[in-house]
Amino acid sequence: MEFFKDETSGRCTKCGHRFRNPGIDFGCATWCSLAEQCLGFVPEGDSAPKSTEGALAGRLIQQIGVALKDAPTRMISALKAFHHAKELVAKEGGAPRIALAASLLLEVAAPSGAEPGVVDELNLQKVKLMLQEVGADEQTIKGVCEIIGCRQTGKEHDSIEFTIVCDADRLARLTTDYSPDEHGKLETVIQNQLITDTAKQRARSWCRAVDAGND
């Protein structure tokens, strides 16, 4: 039998038996508040996917929403970074589970009282627990924590996932730290701080789009 990825089940045309879709993936519908309007129902319980990158991210977003409930600006920043990381992974490659989870959890792991350039061990432990609770495997947990630790201390990490997370974080902050009419500053940031060509193109596209809207 053939299934679309969001079909929960299908019926055999010969015997009439209804089979459950073993590869069901609702992606963003597992956490989006508009899932019911989009699909006509909210996937939950046994219908929700258990192992895909989308499912992992969806469960993390729910947990981060609770952790950052009193800091909506930081939650928005985490979602922006996640959005950019998805685009960068699609174009640049890398392990989606590690890159997407790390981009989401940067805000949760942000230092709270630690000296600059020092890993906030308490928050890093919180990150580990969150990843364990959503069912992330040990390799994913190790990769995410290494990337976050290097990001906090300013150390380099020789992986495409680290590069993607850094670019996604910088892109997320670009729209709040700079005004589109600051072309000189923005171009300097794009050239000196963004690493991947995809991130640079995305930043320049944002500048052009805002400029067009101001015309």
Residues 34 and 66 in one domain: no
Residues 102 and 23 in one domain: no
Q: Please give the model's pTM, rounded to 2 decimal places.
A: 0.70
Domain that holds residue 18: 9-47
Average pLDDT of the chain is 77
Per-residue pLDDT, 142: 94
More confident residue, 154 or 112: 154
Per-residue pLDDT, 147: 95
Residue 3 domain flag = no
Residues 80 and 31 in one domain: no
Tens-digit pLDDT profile for residues 191-207 = 889 999 999 998 888 87
Residue 142, amino acid = K
User: Which residues have C-beta within 8 Å of that of residue 183, sequence separation ≥ 6?
Assistant: 207
More confident residue, 87 or 16: 87
- Percentage, residues of the chain above pLDDT 70: 68
Per-residue pLDDT, 36: 46
Domain containing 116 — which CATH number?
Answer: 1.10.3210
Residues 61 and 102 in one domain: yes
User: What is the domain count for the chain?
Assistant: 2
Residues 125 and 28 in one domain: no
User: Which residues have C-beta within 8 Å of that of residue 2, sequence separation ≥ 6?
Assistant: 10
Q: 19: which strand partners? A: 10
Residues 72 and 30 in one domain: no
- 38, containing H or E segment: helix 35-39
Residues 37 and 60 in one domain: no
Q: Which two tokens stand for residue 165?
A: 């997370």
Residue 58 domain flag = yes
Residue 108 domain flag = yes
Tens-digit pLDDT profile for residues 38-96 = 444 444 544 444 445 567 778 888 888 888 888 888 888 888 999 899 899 988 988 88
Residues 63 and 145 in one domain: yes
